[in-house]
Structure 1
Amino acid sequence: MSRKRPRSMPNPNACDNAKPFKIPAQQPARPFRAARGQLIKLLSMLLIVGNSSGARSETAAEMDWQPRNLLTPAQLQLLKPACHGAYVDPFDNSPAPDPANTLIEIEAGSADMNETHIELGKGVRVQQGPRVIQAEHMLFNKATEKAAMTGDVYIRQAGSLITGESASVNMVGNEAEFTNGSFVAHETHMRGTAGRLAHEASGKLVLEDGTFTSCEPNDKAWLLAGKNLTIDPESLQGYGRDVVVYVGGLPVLYTPYIRFPIGNTRQSGLLTPSIGTVDGGLDIAQPWYWNIAPNQDATITPRYVAGRGAMLELEYRHLGYTSENIVQFSTLPKDSGDEDNEALIASGDETLTSHKDETRWLMQFDHRGGFQQPWYSDINYGEVSDIDFLRELPAASFNVANETYLTQAARFGYDFTNWHVSANVYNAQNLLVDVDDSYRRLPQIQAEGNYRLGDFGTSLYHEYVHFGHSDTHRLNGNTIITGERARIDYQLNYQRDASWGFIRPSMGVQGMSYQLDQDQLRSDADNKPALSTHYASLDSGLVFENSNGQQTLEPRLFYLFRQYTDHKALFNVTDDGQDVNFDTSPLTFGYDQLFRKRRFTGGDRLDDANQLTLGLTHRYFRSNGEPLWDVSLGQLFYFDDRRVGLNEESDTSQESDIAGQFSASLSDNIRSLGSVQYNPKTKKLMRASYGLHYTNDNWLFNLGYRYAREQQLATGDLSQKIDQLDLSFFLPAGNQWRLLGRSFYDIDEQRELETFIGFEYDSCCYRIRTVARRWLDAQLALTEDDRPYDQGLFFEIELLGLGSSGKRIENLLKDSIFGYDQDR
């Protein structure tokens, strides 16, 4: 609904009783010119005061507030759905005036000038373009260069507005003071009041007995009030003494001193706390943001976890010309110990470990370098004091997910004209109790050259790796083989792509050699095995279009030959029958795998092949050329057995499963995709996945399904059966409410893997998120039936314009709800 202008507020576009100011005939011309020059100087000073406002006023807000139904389409585009209107500057589209060329208009109902004073009354209005000063009365002292204004003082500058019952200005000291002042800043959506509002010579605005908020008129959902508040318009920072933060009219925080940001600009200050409960215990974190420099910042977060004690989290970020760096650290100096865990341990539960009285910590360092450079660097290092840290104390203020391992890797490289050279070190801290540690690569050096001459090209790949291992967590006492490996892969290829299709033949040679640590091998085992093979492939496809170009039929043929080479030197090389395998595993079978030149990832097997793939793709396009759907099916046909595997077993099947995939854009907002793997011999579905995604400006809905039949792997083990349904959503329930949630359910085990439900409320000046979550703790799973659940209730509030909240719920939503955007 529209609001009436208060009777006490002057009309910004007229002065009801004012007349054009005219100098009486008896006044000499020279004093008028001098007076006009001083008025111009006075105007300039007052405009500085108006421009330095970093906040807004109740009365001014009433005047500049426009309800939603009166806003233009362009203004509505910038308005959040939860907002009922906006503060609108009436001179928003006016160009900034040039003081030397813009006419100054002065109107007053009366005027009196003498040698010492200039007095204007009965409604005074001074305007220069969009800059306006109004008051009932103005008195200017020529000697002291001070001006006094009374009667609804009104000063407007583009983007800001200040009002007061009276005002005094010291033009020499560049200072001004308002009584019962109020202020509005349209762009930052801030408003406020003060019993005494002073503009200092430094440009800062000082509020005595002042308040400010970003809420709409007559809405005091949150309010910051203090006996002394200072707003720095240049740095957009605020300072306060004896400050109380009110939420819903109730005082929720008192502090003798506070430093806070103004608006959405990155500024130092307190952020709103993150509050939650985990297994019934309180978990509260209060972040403080430190804007160190334009390219550096830090977040310092004291935190208290019931049953554990007080802890501290730190995050430091640095952005350079060629690199970015993030350091994260969390520590609990002395764990008080969880009572429930201690009781279970005392009862004989061997899956739990006591960390009582221990100092526990987490450290994460991420670095990316080489922006716009031929070189690059990439470091990702994470480490925790114990494997239970992330499960029991997940970070509240930065994004370190509940991982099963933490990567400790660094990579450096350089791009030459035709060569790429890199060096890599890799390790991982394992956080699972029933999985062996992975190999360390210390170091891994790679060099790859690529040359092209027309449609012909060549690739020259070289790699050297030293594999080390920490055997402190190896399973069942098995021997861990360590050593070095060198590989080469030289390839010559031809590539011809055209509108009718493509043809891509290639041929190459591969080789690898080892230097294994002899003390871990059988006495008769070869510690320097070397293997090589050659290969050739032909990949080709045709594109058939119908007459209107809306449909295509694309058959594809891929032939691969790889010469068999005996791998017996890599099998059964230790006394307990271990095979050489540092980093190799089978590739997951799917449609894309039908056209790959290898069956394995890693470099410990030179697989053999004599096979043909037949594939077919159908695409359908809308009349505007946008894809509507595409469907692909394919199958592999083997002419020889596959004699090379992870172990000494051969694969004698003559054909692969039928693999397919599809994607469809059902509308501008709905997308569907999936894959399927079917065994024609057993007539059984082996794998399937399906995803449905719906999104628009306010809606987000995801449905996912995954299925995988239990089957024997190349390692001889049985794969885990997967039959899971995943539903997530972020849905509006009115302009201000959003419902959010996820249900991740294992149909085969008939148990939930993760479930959370919550809501988000956006009132235009603050946002609340609350989530109740229950999730399966997979890290302690020694048997399928022993998996415990963790559960918690999390709450975050964000006072818009004052600071952002913690990241726990935000990170959960981004990780769990596909397509979620925190700015939606």
Structure 2
Amino acid sequence: MRKLILLSAGIFASYSPLAAAFDRNILPARCDVLDADMFMPQSLIAPAESEVNVDADDAQFVEQGTSVFTGNVEVSRGNQQLNANRATYNHLYQEVTAQGDVTLRDSEIKVSADQAEWSLQEDQGAMIDADYLLRQQNARGEASHVFRQGVRRTLLKNASYTTCTEEDEFWVLEADNVDLDHDEAVGRARDVVLRMGGLPVFYTPYISFPLNDERKSGFLVPSIGNSDETGFDVSTPYYWNIAPNQDATLTPRYMSDRGMMLNAEYRYLTSNNQGLFDVGYLGSDNLRRDGEVTNPYYQEDRKHFTWQQQGRFSDRWSNYIDYNYTSDRNYLEDFSGNLSLSSTTHLRRLAQVNYHGDIWRFAARAQGYQTLFLDVEEPYQMLPQLTLRGFLPDQALGLTYELDTEFTAFDSDDRVTGQRFDFEPAISLPWGNAGAFMTPRVAVKQSYYNLDNVDRQPAYQEENISRTVPIVSLDSGLVFERPLTFANKGYIQTLEPRAFYLYIPERNQDDIPLFDTTMRTFTMGSLFSHDRFTGPDRVGDANQLSLALTSRIIDATTGRQKFALTLGQIQYFSDRDVGLQTNQRRDDRSDSDYIAEVIAEITKNWTASGQIQWNPDADETTLSSVQLRYRGDNGAIFNIGHRYRREGELDTAYSNIIGLEQVDISASLPINDTWSVIGRYYRSLDDQRTLETLAGVQYNSCCWATRFVFRDYINDINSDDRNTAFFIEIQLKGLGSFGNSTDSLLQESIIGYE
């Protein structure tokens, strides 16, 4: 009886690996339409080690060692069971024949057939007119004949596979012949037809697939779509399983407006490293005009290259590589369809080695960029940059020692170059308990510059520059708590005042070039930062006191934060003389913007957050951001947000800030158990321009799902050219998806979408 059970596993092997290879579960999870009572419970004892029990209404012993069982025959062994109207067992030849309502089941599969025959001695047998159910795949199917030829091979005739119920069989996969080679763990099917709604929609004379979880070379599901950037767009990826630790995906992409592009991705994994190469090549761009503008790359070759790797030399030493190249500035805009990618101004090229010790951290990097826009200044190349950081807490008398050092050689084709050495030791004395903390800290920042090519920029004349700046700070805070009762529930309310004093004397730094230093964006973290600049080329003078007050409401039972509000401001006791440029006006404000942040869990499903910066001198808002989010128990998602940033004026502390005002609304809302709508409205209010409109509808049933999405968008925020695209995607659950995948698009457009 055990061999009959193994025979049915051939049907399971026929299609489940194919489903595993292609199924992406892009839409909500499938329904469980199979009753668990159809299958036997799991057993820890192997069937071969279990006794065979036979129960029947009547049993007869016939000549030559043959036993005949009739009437409600039930043969069980471990978690395997055979039911039939009649079963014959020949003890001499070890042959079993079962007839009439034959049912074979274990914990994973149930097979029903009119007749089953098996030779236990030769390990061969057959089942006629078999129907099967697969518990794990939630699938079913049929086969007119199933032939098992030992443990090495199984043949199926007129086989089918679907995850739909009999009442709603939207799709079914059919094959005239299926050959399962268990030694090679490969299945081969011939004359394969996919039927949807009873109509044949796809045919292939031959297909092969793995019989286990291992990857296998072969074509993947094609992607089909249409957009203004590319025209009719179809990609047909081919997956190449090179080795257990290497694979590649070759994707020919035909775009009716532009021509044939070839993309290739190669991935590798070793004991210490993992990475990928990604390349793309368009032999000749056939698009003559891009909207109303002539395509500057008409009939030119266009290409890209990416190499990314991360790995380890040992437990403490690691490496990272990120190299990117495109043939032209519009490549990402034309072929990515993503606003964030197409707005990229520089492509990074980085190679880095890191050491992470208990006290010391070391990094060596070489970094450069490819600048995509002519009107954007190219960043300096770092060839190389060496950093060493040390942190030694809880030493004698409770002192903590820090060391931050850096050596960088900067290179540029048309600006002053040179080497910078920065050395900053610090000592602090942290103290604290549950209700208070205080940390006095003293540091000295010592910098040395050796400049080259100073004749390129007359503003810099000195070749050797030294700068020494002491930094003194005192960070302190208190925490008060009190019980709070609201709506008959217990909470804890906290009141947390914090004060941070910072003193840095002014040093004239106009003769130092700006290699990698900019002004930090003013945020809540700026209140407690030791510097208002991002790099060491400028050390901002400071004589200031930051005051902040935070209040939280915490669920006394769960410890979950329900509400938090923080308000803070910096009080300046002297003007700030150090700026980025030599002609930058002195910042003589006596206080900074007020800055406030709030996070609130309104209900179980609704949350809100907001940030605002208010300039009390100008009586106006500098920056604000408000978000309201809903997460329903039924998978519903709704987001609405508003962002505002005041445009900065030149020669002020807010120089080079680009103003914006945007509203962003997105949602994924179920209509009923099967239908839902998705959408996004993303608009720039300051220039009255819609950045993206996305609308779609999706259907999800137990065995299939589909999604229709329309998108109107811009790729370049500095351009008025608009693009439209329409996506159609169909998922046959347990088999795969067809059409143009919209997973990444919806995850980027709708916050919280999965």
Aligned to 1:636: 570
Q: 1:818 is aligned with what amino acid?
A: I
On the 8 A contact 1:54/1:262 being kept in 2, the answer is no
Kindly state the Cα deviation for residue 270 of structure 1 after the two structures are TM-superposed: 4.2
Structure 2 counterpart SS, 1:671: strand
Q: Encode CA deviations 1:281-313: one digit per residue, 9 max, x unaligned.
A: 211223344555665544333322111222233
Q: Encode CA deviations 1:33-64: one digit per residue, 9 max, x unaligned.
A: xxxxxxxxxx122122134431799xxxxxxx
On the 8 A contact 1:203/1:232 being kept in 2, the answer is yes
Measure the CA separation in 1 of the matches of 2:692 and 2:290: 22
Q: 1:212 is aligned with what amino acid?
A: Y
Q: 1:328 is aligned with what amino acid?
A: D
On the 8 A contact 1:261/1:803 being kept in 2, the answer is no
* 1:768 equivalenced with 2:718 (yes/no): no
Structure 1 counterpart SS, 2:446: strand
* 1:651 equivalenced with 2:651 (yes/no): no
Kindly state the Cα deviation for residue 401 of structure 1 after the two structures are TM-superposed: 7.5
CA, structure 1 residues 515+797, in 2 after alignment: closer, same or farther (shift >3 Å)?
Answer: farther
Within a 5 Å distance, the mapping from 1:156-171 to structure 2 comes to 156-171=105-120
Measure the CA separation in 1 of the matches of 2:695 and 2:564: 35
Kindly state the Cα deviation for residue 364 of structure 1 after the two structures are TM-superposed: 2.4
* 1:329 equivalenced with 2:279 (yes/no): yes
On the 8 A contact 1:272/1:797 being kept in 2, the answer is no
Q: 2:33 is aligned with what amino acid?
A: G
On the 8 A contact 1:700/1:819 being kept in 2, the answer is yes
On the 8 A contact 2:285/2:302 being kept in 1, the answer is no
CA, structure 1 residues 101+775, in 2 after alignment: closer, same or farther (shift >3 Å)?
Answer: closer
On the 8 A contact 2:185/2:210 being kept in 1, the answer is yes
Aligned to 1:362: 304
Structure 2 counterpart SS, 1:550: strand
Structure 1 gaps, min length 5: 1-42, 58-78, 346-351, 472-478, 571-579
Kindly state the Cα deviation for residue 195 of structure 1 after the two structures are TM-superposed: 2.0
Q: Equivalent of 1:568, from 510, 520, 532?
A: 510
Aligned to 1:64: none
CA, structure 1 residues 401+595, in 2 after alignment: closer, same or farther (shift >3 Å)?
Answer: same
Measure the CA separation in 2 of the matches of 1:736 and 1:420: 54
Q: Encode CA deviations 1:157-189: one digit per residue, 9 max, x unaligned.
A: 221122222222233332222222222211122
Measure the CA separation in 2 of the matches of 1:263 and 1:767: 26
* 1:482 equivalenced with 2:430 (yes/no): no
On the 8 A contact 1:188/1:264 being kept in 2, the answer is no
Return the structure number with greater strand share: 2
Structure 1 counterpart SS, 2:289: helix
Measure the CA separation in 2 of the matches of 1:807 and 1:250: 22
Structure 1 counterpart SS, 2:621: strand
Q: Equivalent of 1:173, from 119, 122, 140?
A: 122
Aligned to 1:543: 479
On the 8 A contact 2:105/2:111 being kept in 1, the answer is yes
Kindly state the Cα deviation for residue 746 of structure 1 after the two structures are TM-superposed: 0.6
Q: Encode CA deviations 1:738-779: one digit per residue, 9 max, x unaligned.
A: 321211101111111112111222222233232211112326
Structure 2 counterpart SS, 1:592: helix
Measure the CA separation in 2 of the matches of 1:772 and 1:328: 29
Kindly state the Cα deviation for residue 108 of structure 1 after the two structures are TM-superposed: 5.2
Measure the CA separation in 2 of the matches of 1:343 and 1:635: 50
Measure the CA separation in 2 of the matches of 1:403 and 1:325: 23
Measure the CA separation in 2 of the matches of 1:173 and 1:167: 15
Measure the CA separation in 2 of the matches of 1:382 and 1:82: 39
What is the percentage of aligned positions where both structures have the same residue?
32
* 1:719 equivalenced with 2:652 (yes/no): no
Kindly state the Cα deviation for residue 84 of structure 1 after the two structures are TM-superposed: 6.6
Aligned to 1:751: 689
On the 8 A contact 2:28/2:700 being kept in 1, the answer is no
Within a 5 Å distance, the mapping from 1:239-250 to structure 2 comes to 239-250=188-199
Q: Encode CA deviations 1:80-105: one digit per residue, 9 max, x unaligned.
A: 67637334254453424454454522
Q: 1:286 is aligned with what amino acid?
A: T
* 1:554 equivalenced with 2:502 (yes/no): no
Measure the CA separation in 1 of the matches of 2:267 and 2:739: 16
On the 8 A contact 1:488/1:511 being kept in 2, the answer is yes
CA, structure 1 residues 80+400, in 2 after alignment: closer, same or farther (shift >3 Å)?
Answer: same
Aligned to 1:49: 7
Q: Equivalent of 2:100, from 151, 159, 165?
A: 151
On the 8 A contact 1:274/1:795 being kept in 2, the answer is no
Aligned to 1:741: 679
* 1:465 equivalenced with 2:408 (yes/no): yes
Aligned to 1:222: 171
Kindly state the Cα deviation for residue 642 of structure 1 after the two structures are TM-superposed: 0.9
Measure the CA separation in 2 of the matches of 1:243 and 1:725: 50
Aligned to 1:300: 250
On the 8 A contact 1:314/1:328 being kept in 2, the answer is yes
| TM-score, scaled relative to structure 2 | 0.89
On the 8 A contact 2:40/2:80 being kept in 1, the answer is no
Aligned to 1:446: 387
Within a 5 Å distance, the mapping from 1:369-388 to structure 2 comes to 369-370=311-312, 373-388=315-330
Structure 2 counterpart SS, 1:585: coil
Measure the CA separation in 2 of the matches of 1:388 and 1:245: 41
Aligned to 2:468: 532
Aligned to 1:497: 432
Q: 2:643 is aligned with what amino acid?
A: R
Mean Cα deviation higher: 742-751 or 182-191: 182-191
Measure the CA separation in 2 of the matches of 1:91 and 1:533: 76
Structure 1 counterpart SS, 2:6: helix
Aligned to 2:265: 315
- What value does the CA root-mean-square deviation take over the aligned residues? 3.0
On the 8 A contact 1:56/1:191 being kept in 2, the answer is no
On the 8 A contact 2:333/2:341 being kept in 1, the answer is no
Within a 5 Å distance, the mapping from 1:87-106 to structure 2 comes to 87-98=35-46, 99-102=48-51, 104-106=53-55
* 1:705 equivalenced with 2:642 (yes/no): yes
Q: Encode CA deviations 1:446-503: one digit per residue, 9 max, x unaligned.
A: 111111234321111111112223x5xxxxxxx4222222211111112122111211
On the 8 A contact 2:41/2:106 being kept in 1, the answer is no
Measure the CA separation in 1 of the matches of 2:739 and 2:351: 29
Measure the CA separation in 2 of the matches of 1:438 and 1:524: 18
Within a 5 Å distance, the mapping from 1:186-205 to structure 2 comes to 186-205=135-154
Q: Encode CA deviations 1:367-414: one digit per residue, 9 max, x unaligned.
A: 222399222222222222222222222289xx9887443322222111
CA, structure 1 residues 806+511, in 2 after alignment: closer, same or farther (shift >3 Å)?
Answer: farther
| TM-score, scaled relative to structure 1 | 0.82
Aligned to 1:431: 372
Structure 1 counterpart SS, 2:575: coil
Measure the CA separation in 2 of the matches of 1:323 and 1:806: 34
Measure the CA separation in 2 of the matches of 1:228 and 1:395: 43
Q: Encode CA deviations 1:584-643: one digit per residue, 9 max, x unaligned.
A: 111111222111110010221121111111111121223323222111111111111111
On the 8 A contact 2:224/2:740 being kept in 1, the answer is no
* 1:516 equivalenced with 2:451 (yes/no): yes
CA, structure 1 residues 402+680, in 2 after alignment: closer, same or farther (shift >3 Å)?
Answer: closer
CA, structure 1 residues 324+402, in 2 after alignment: closer, same or farther (shift >3 Å)?
Answer: farther
Aligned to 1:5: none
On the 8 A contact 1:231/1:239 being kept in 2, the answer is yes
Mean Cα deviation higher: 428-437 or 556-565: 428-437
Structure 2 gaps, min length 5: 16-26, 485-490
On the 8 A contact 1:496/1:502 being kept in 2, the answer is yes
On the 8 A contact 1:288/1:299 being kept in 2, the answer is yes
Q: 2:278 is aligned with what amino acid?
A: Q
Measure the CA separation in 2 of the matches of 1:89 and 1:401: 54
The number of aligned residues is 726
